[in-house]
Structure 1
Amino acid sequence: MDTDVVPGRRRTWARRALGTLVTLALLALANVLATLLLDPYGSLSSVRWSEYRSMAGQDIDTIVVGSSVSERSLDLQVLDGTLGASSFSLSSSAQSLEDSYIGIEQAIRDHHVKRAILGVDYASFSEGSYPNARMAYLLARCEGQPLGYRARALWGLMSSHEFAGTSQSLNFLFPWTFNRVGMGPRAVSQNLRQRLGGTTQLEAVKQRDPNWHYQGKGYGNYDFVIDYTNAKELLFSSQYGRKPFRDDTLDALRRICDLCRSNGVELTVVVAPCPTFNVLCYGDYYPQQMPRAQKVVTDAGFRFLDFNLARGSAYVADESDFLDGEHLNANGAARFTKAFGELLARVETGQDVTSDFYSYDGWDEYLGSIDRLSAVTLDEEPGDGVVRVTATPYAGLGRKVEYQYYVGERGSNDTALVRDWSEDPTFDLPVTGHGEKVVYVRARLVGSTAEFDRRSNILVTY
């Protein structure tokens, strides 16, 4: 046997091992640098979690969690004033129910909270988790925490049933691939200056989004008011489609109920109000699917309050309360929170509030109660020498709608009346050759004395 061969092999193996370790170290360093440069410094979630951690040892008896419908619907100053509570919101944009669970669990561990409020909407149960949102939430709650805490949190996400065994699982090792600033030198340098120059998380957010107003306790909002002319782009059915609820989201809701029950936490699941057109757009799916989530909650002994179905005795939304097709603005959130807090106070003293809501079983009664035109949208269909434009109204059951059509040129404010008020929702635009026109519709309930209730437009290209 040649005794010189074995040491040679050992040296070769050692060089390869060292080379591999050096390569891994360089990759890890590059990942850290990329994260420092590209991962946005200061997010809404990081502001919340930073303030939450600063309240260690202070009294928090109510935790609010959920997606952006919760984030922008509950004004915690108003809630605390109405309920006599001390609350905090760990809600976040596109928050999964798994992360809602984590938020409640953390608040139980840190503050022994006795009340949890979970804000949801239809999409909370029809959609799966969004990796970007889950990564942003993880980074925010792990910031400044020990390495072991961060490693456990990251492994929990990578090995979760949603991502285990997928390429997405490995991508979580590279946070900057999910959420990053612009790739231009200016954006990168500004991000680095904020991160290293003493800028607070809140200051960074305000620089990036000056229209967002933070009020503390995890709550911030905007003052914008919805433009109902853009309802078509805001329809949930366009963004998410009409889909039944996912079993895994209902399982996640069930785990939240189990967590609260086992820790003596009183859970309220609240469906925050949205513009009526975004209830109607789901058609029969809404009354068929929402009871599935309601049953999970009520079977666990907790309450499920859908404020889209609230009667006037409990809450009436004003048309200017909404920021867009999904969220309340700051004024709307204050109004809604007061109504919600007053009703929750009644519930917690043992009052039955069933009569304050329409039921899913009595869906036609709810539809018949809608006494205004929420929105009108337009669609086009090419024909022989014409383009047919059809208006779709979002109104209550049995409500008649009439329409008035105008046509104009793109980029011009000049329009010509082409059909006066009629209950026919269609208009045939005569066309020859190639070109484009803007078709406008005004709509109102028959019998309305208003000039119009809603309007919309569509660019027709032929």
Structure 2
Amino acid sequence: MYKANTLIKRIFKVAVILILGFWIPLKVLNFALVDDVRSYTRVMLHEMYTQEENIDVLFIGSSHCYRTLNPELIDKIWSKNTFNGGTSSQCLDGSYAILNEVAKNNDLETVYLEMFYTQMGGVYSDRTQLTLTYIICDYLKPSINKYSYMLSAVPKENYIESFILARRNWKRIFEKGYMNNLIEKKLSEEYKSYQYIDNGVEEYLGKGYVANYNSIEGGYISDGIFSPTRALSEDDIKYIKKIKALCDKKGIKLVLFSAPMPDFRLCAAENYDSYVNELNQLASDLDFEYYDFNLCKSEFLSLAETDFYDDQHLNNLGADKFSRSFAKFFMENNYSACLYESYAEKVNHMEDIPLGVIVSKEEAELKFETVIPREMTLCYEAQVETENDVRLYKGDGGNFSIPIDLDKNNKINIALYYGENNQSLCTKYVYEVGGK
């Protein structure tokens, strides 16, 4: 018996030595190689874990969640403690993992799950961009929830990078100054105390909300064609059902919603109503609520270009407007007065104005396509400025091409005329391209 106990103690000591001999070097390498100095998720999850007050309401979803809903504003209207658990490009398995984590330690009343259409339709096992997973699992506390998420969300060939964070950046060991600079930042009081250092454009304002202070000036103009909507994949539906089951088990109300985006983007996608219809049907089948705030009537919420900082995200001004409207919407329960039945119905109530311009490059020319809510007559002027000359192109219509030398810096001032005799109204855009 004595020998058996002695053997067990020796085995235990050896195991501890091996674990510490592996774990401590890994922690050192992670500290020196993994650059998370500007990670919103690191700060957000730390704040979530250290909340002293019970979280009553949780918002989860993609960047359209954490850049759109400001809990500080909503708390005052609802007299609840709300928290935003959104992360960049968060898919539904990530939403499920964060919900699981919050529900373990809080008596949640309601969960609002944000649904961004381009995040849907994928096969999770086919992922190649794993940052969306790492930014969540890297900062979840060790638990069955964390490791089950990691094992299901990451392909087997990436397991090493998932568990050994430094493996992702191992090539930078030999990059001059990289580790010294990173270690210096991580030894700062801001990093150690989980204070996010704003960069003058964006700022972490607490409880998961990130404010952006840029705004669209001079109309929407974008490179490339926007992705059309896709049907929900089996993985999407699987995790919506898992989220619903968890909410039912815990007695939590589940509400799905889509955050407002510019009509420029939605009209360019062309088939947005197919997405709205599919989610409405799923909501009916699974007995939860879904509201799409891209269907807002202008009397309820009117957003201008200056309320967005790009062609899909609200800036701080727009998020302030929407957060207040969102809170009011769920307090008053007067849904029909606030939302159209479909996006097509909303389009029918839009003004006849250009919504924006999509630009594509083809060899020695640029192609411009104007996004409009319905057929309308347009004419254009495009002034191309280079270092040496200025050229002017004119024509009828909103779709046109102009020759361009991409080796030179080009500033293109576009004016689209419409209205009575195509002269009464004008929308202007600026596009810069080229140069070495």
Structure 1 residues 259 and 294, CA gap change in structure 2 (3 angstroms):
farther
Inter-partner Cα distance in structure 2 for 1:33 and 1:40: 13
- Give 1:370's aligned amino acid: M
Inter-partner Cα distance in structure 1 for 2:186 and 2:357: 46
- Give 1:61's aligned amino acid: D
- Give 1:55's aligned amino acid: Q
Inter-partner Cα distance in structure 2 for 1:46 and 1:435: 42
Deviation at 1:89, TM superposition (A): 1.2
Residue 8 of structure 2 is matched in structure 1 by: none
Whether 1:189 aligns to 2:180 is: yes
In the TM superposition, 1:59-138 aligns within 5 A as 59-127=54-122, 128=124, 130-138=129-137
2:370/2:398 contact within 8 Å kept? no
Q: Which structure has the larger Rg?
A: 1
Residues 393-417 of structure 1 deviation map (CA, whole Å, 9 limit, x = unaligned): 11212333321122332x46x6332
In the TM superposition, 1:344-423 aligns within 5 A as 344-347=330-333, 351=334, 353-360=335-342, 363-371=343-351, 372-379=353-360, 390-409=367-386, 411=387, 415-419=390-394, 422-423=396-397
Structure 1 residues 302 and 378, CA gap change in structure 2 (3 angstroms):
same
Whether 1:288 aligns to 2:288 is: no
Deviation at 1:454, TM superposition (A): 3.6
Deviation at 1:174, TM superposition (A): 1.8
Q: Which runs of 5+ in 2 are unaligned?
A: 1-13
> Which shows bigger deviation, 316-325 or 47-56?
47-56
Deviation at 1:436, TM superposition (A): 9.0
Deviation at 1:210, TM superposition (A): 4.5
Say how many residue pairs are matched: 412
In the TM superposition, 1:289-328 aligns within 5 A as 289-328=275-314
Residues 3-38 of structure 1 deviation map (CA, whole Å, 9 limit, x = unaligned): xxxxxxxxxxxxxxx9xx999987765543321111
Whether 1:224 aligns to 2:206 is: no
In the TM superposition, 1:328-343 aligns within 5 A as 328-343=314-329
Deviation at 1:315, TM superposition (A): 1.4
- Give 1:108's aligned amino acid: A
RMSD: 3.4
Residue 14 of structure 1 is matched in structure 2 by: none
Residue 8 of structure 1 is matched in structure 2 by: none
Whether 1:54 aligns to 2:54 is: no
2:120/2:230 contact within 8 Å kept? no
Residue 205 of structure 1 is matched in structure 2 by: 196
Residue 259 of structure 1 is matched in structure 2 by: 246
2:230/2:275 contact within 8 Å kept? no
1:61/1:86 contact within 8 Å kept? yes
Match among 438, 441, 446 for residue 414 of structure 2:
441
Q: Secondary structure at the match of 1:453?
A: strand
Q: Which runs of 5+ in 1 are unaligned?
A: 1-17, 143-148
Deviation at 1:189, TM superposition (A): 2.0
> Which shows bigger deviation, 368-377 or 301-310?
368-377
Deviation at 1:424, TM superposition (A): 5.9
1:376/1:394 contact within 8 Å kept? yes
- Give 2:344's aligned amino acid: D
Q: Secondary structure at the match of 1:60?
A: coil
Inter-partner Cα distance in structure 2 for 1:245 and 1:225: 32
1:67/1:93 contact within 8 Å kept? yes
Inter-partner Cα distance in structure 2 for 1:391 and 1:314: 33
1:138/1:153 contact within 8 Å kept? no
Deviation at 1:156, TM superposition (A): 1.1
1:406/1:417 contact within 8 Å kept? yes
- Give 2:147's aligned amino acid: W
Q: Secondary structure at the match of 2:254?
A: strand
TM-score, L = length of structure 2: 0.82
Q: Secondary structure at the match of 2:196?
A: helix
> Which shows bigger deviation, 322-331 or 104-113?
104-113
Residue 455 of structure 1 is matched in structure 2 by: 429
Inter-partner Cα distance in structure 1 for 2:121 and 2:202: 28
